[in-house]
């Protein structure tokens, strides 16, 4: 476990003292990313997740991120119809009820990942429980991967909710899921919708066709880019441990991290120490726990405005991004 507070920098910190009309109390939020190994003992998994939430809350965290599908092993390694039995509807969902109650008890915000059944459709979904336990929104994973060891298209339909931003007690947050994190369009949409922090619950590890290859540094750099391009903090939570199935096994990387609004790694689970130039430790140790970091959201907003990244956008030129093959221009 580690903690580091974001330092003042940029236009918002240019003057040590401001005239009274320009002064305001900081909007400080502390965020946490957890990580743990999962087994087929679902109650043990849920209890472990609850214990991590309690520990992070005791350390002052306001918003705590658990990993993707933390109730079970990552069953998408193989295609098996029996795993559809793991899906539960949103209404009356006992996992959601348990963690919403926990959020209210601890006065924290909790994104809660779950396997959703909705009629004849199945989704990789989450809800956000606010600090009073109320459910403030529901998101279904937009981008569904399909490859050796990550056969999610067998289980999940592409989400139909669109990118969502959730207003919570402590911040307006964008929460996307795993493969969503590789798409800068989704991160930018969340920022345009008012997200002050981006959260990514994740399950990523070794590639079954080539176990010696690590995509971990690439994975981290993509999200560091989202943080820097949108000038907002990014929180990523990943699982750890080796999970074996009949014809596949994956060693999950862990390495959950929090990036600051210029893309630098503020804190990383399992890191051997601070890396040069705000980079990531490419081989983090496998350890259960959580990491914490704090940010002044008003300072982030002022710095974002000062850089002009949103002021100088040209959406009239970006028509190609709305097509699959780039064939249509905005003009």
Planar angle of CA 52, 53, 58, nearest 5 degrees: 100
Question: CA 13 to CA 7: how far, in whole Å?
Answer: 10
Tell me the per-residue pLDDT of 124-146, one tens digit each, with 9 for 90 and over: 999 999 999 999 999 999 999 99
Active site residue 141: yes
Active-site annotation holder among 48, 68, 76, 243: 68
**Exposure of 267 in the CB half-sphere (CA atoms within 13 A):** 21
List the one residue out of 33, 40, 59 whose CA is nearest residue 201.
33
Percent of the chain's residues with pLDDT above 70: 93
Tell me the per-residue pLDDT of 30-50, one tens digit each, with 9 for 90 and over: 999 999 999 999 999 999 999
Secondary structure (3-state) at 314: coil
Average pLDDT, rounded, for the chain: 93
168, 131 Cβ separation under 8 angstroms: yes
Tell me the per-residue pLDDT of 154-167, one tens digit each, with 9 for 90 and over: 999 999 999 999 99
Cα torsion angle, 19, 169, 60, 111, sign: negative
pLDDT given at position 165: 98
pLDDT given at position 193: 98
Active site residue 68: yes
Active-site annotation holder among 38, 71, 164, 178: 178
Q: Which residue has the tokens 């918002």?
A: 12
What is the H or E stretch that residue 55 is in?
helix 42-58
Active-site annotation holder among 30, 71, 76, 141: 141
Confidence class for position 16, pLDDT limits 50, 70, 90: low
Q: Is the pTM of this model over 0.85?
A: yes
pLDDT given at position 125: 99
Tokens of residue 114, six digits: 């779950």
pLDDT given at position 5: 46
Question: CA 269 to CA 278: how far, in whole Å?
Answer: 14
- CATH number (3.40.50.2020, 3.60.110.10, 3.90.1150.10, 3.10.20.600) of 26-322 reads 3.60.110.10
* pLDDT surpasses 60 at 86: yes
């Amino acid at each position: 476990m580690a903690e580091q507070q974001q330092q003042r920098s940029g236009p918002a910190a240019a003057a040590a003292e401001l005239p009274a009309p320009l002064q305001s109390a900081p909007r400080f939020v502390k965020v946490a990313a957890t990580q743990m190994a999962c087994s087929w003992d679902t109650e043990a998994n849920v209890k472990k997740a609850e214990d991590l939430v309690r520990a992070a809350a005791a350390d002052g965290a306001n918003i705590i991120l658990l990993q993707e599908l933390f109730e079970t092993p990552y069953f998408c390694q193989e295609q098996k119809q029996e795993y559809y039995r793991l899906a539960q509807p949103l209404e009356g969902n006992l996992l959601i009820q348990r963690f919403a109650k926990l959020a209210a008890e601890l006065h924290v915000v909790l994104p809660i990942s779950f396997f959703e059944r909705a009629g004849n459709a199945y989704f990789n979904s989450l809800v956000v429980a606010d600090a009073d336990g109320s459910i403030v929104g529901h998101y279904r994973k937009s981008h569904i991967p399909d490859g050796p060891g990550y056969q999610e298209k067998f289980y999940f339909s592409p989400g139909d909710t669109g990118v969502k931003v959730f207003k919570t007690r402590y911040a307006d947050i964008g929460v996307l899921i795993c493969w969503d994190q590789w798409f800068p369009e989704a991160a930018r949409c969340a920022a345009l919708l008012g997200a002050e922090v981006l959260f990514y619950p994740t399950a990523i590890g070794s590639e079954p066709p080539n176990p010696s290859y690590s995509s971990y540094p690439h994975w981290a750099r993509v999200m560091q880019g989202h943080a820097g391009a949108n000038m907002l903090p990014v929180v990523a939570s990943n699982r750890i441990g080796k999970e074996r199935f009949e014809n596949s096994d994956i060693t999950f990387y862990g390495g959950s991290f929090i990036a600051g609004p210029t893309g630098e790694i503020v804190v990383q689970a399992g890191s051997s120490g601070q890396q040069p130039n705000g980079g990531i430790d490419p081989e983090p140790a496998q350890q259960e726990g959580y990491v914490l970091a704090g940010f002044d959201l008003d300072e982030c907003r002022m710095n974002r405005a000062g850089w002009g990244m949103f002021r100088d956008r040209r959406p009239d030129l970006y028509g190609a991004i709305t097509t699959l093959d780039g064939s249509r221009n905005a003009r």
